[in-house]
Each structure stands twice: as structure tokens, then as C-alpha cells.
Copies of this chain bind each other. A is one copy, B any other.
């Protein structure tokens, strides 16, 4: 639906508070009178945008993580590439709708909070699944806690998206991804010589 598409585009670039319904309607080419035909309030519209963005992003993650032609960590690298390309396409002006709204929570309807947290937990679970597959393939240390690593990743990745927007370039995404991959692979991190865990 055109209003959802325009809303997601505007909210990944700006924020919920900074944007009026009028701007979204105008971007969508929808007459002002018809908004309340579709949504009861700006809050209901916001929740619909979170759901639409969560669905879109979950499909992206599943597409990356189910690519059986690649080793699991290469699927994760595929997600990094996809995310970088996505930000580059819009000149690093658009970030993550969930991160933007999370940052704005101080001024948003309380109903957004659980929806945003649940979305991040969902992405973490899918990422933990990819890390577990990497562990089974010997790409992650056997004793590592994949759920904790996935949470660590998503906590920091939202910071990386924020920083990439601020710097208008991919360096923060690349630097965070590189650091995270180093954390997964004992013995190869930060330029240290390989060291067997069983030595």
C-alpha cells in the first residue's frame, strides 16, 4: 500500500516526531482527507509501519541466512553487504526504522515500545540460528553462546547504522562487522596469530 511505503521511507530517514502526516500523504500522493479512512490515528499508522518494516526486514534476513550455497558466516557477510548496499542506495540518509523509533521512544506512544523490542528479539533469534549453523560448521568456537552473540550484534549494529548515517559513509558498518566477525573466530582476531583452543 502506497501510504505504508511512503511512511517507511520517510521514517527511516527522519523520525516519527519530526514528520507530520501531511508530509507522508504528500510523498504518497494521497489526498489528505483519506488518511483516516485507512488509519484511526497517527499511532495506529506508526504501528502499521513498524509491522511492515519488521516483515520486510525479516524476509531480508531469512533470504540471507537460508542461502545454502554459502557457509553460514558467509551468509552473515551477505547480510552485511546487503545492509551496506541498502544504505548506499539512499546516500546513507536512511537508517533502520526500528533504531530511529527506539531512539525516539521518549516522545512516542508507549504501544511502540513492545513492538520495537519484539522486532529486535526476532532478528536476534534469526541471527542466533545462523551463528549456531556456523558453530556446527566449525566456524564459531564450540563453547560460544550464540544467543548472547546475536544480542551483542544487534545492540551494536543499530549503533553502526546510526554512525553510518552521521558519517554519511559505510565505514562504521564495515568496522563493526569486522570487529564482530573477529569476536566469533578465536585465534584469528585482531591480527593475532592463529592459536588452537585445545593447546
The residues of A with any CB-CB pair to B shorter than 8 Å are 13-15, 17-18, 93-95, 99-100, 102-107, 113, 116-117, 120, 141, 143-145, 148-149, 151-152, 155-160, 162-163, 165-168, 172, 175-176, 179, 182-183, 186, 189-193, 195-197, 199
Contact = CB atoms under 8 A, between A and B. Distances in A.
**Residues of A contacting B: mostly:** helix
Contacts of A196: 195, 199
5 contacts: A14-B104, A93-B106, A113-B166, A141-B192, A186-B192
Nearest to A90: B106
A183 B176 contact: no
A13 B103 CA distance: 9
Nearest to A142: B192
Contacts of A143: 190-192
A18 B71 CA distance: 45
Q: Which of A18, A144, A162, A199 has the largest count of B CB atoms less than 10 A from its CB?
A: A162
A167 B121 CA distance: 11
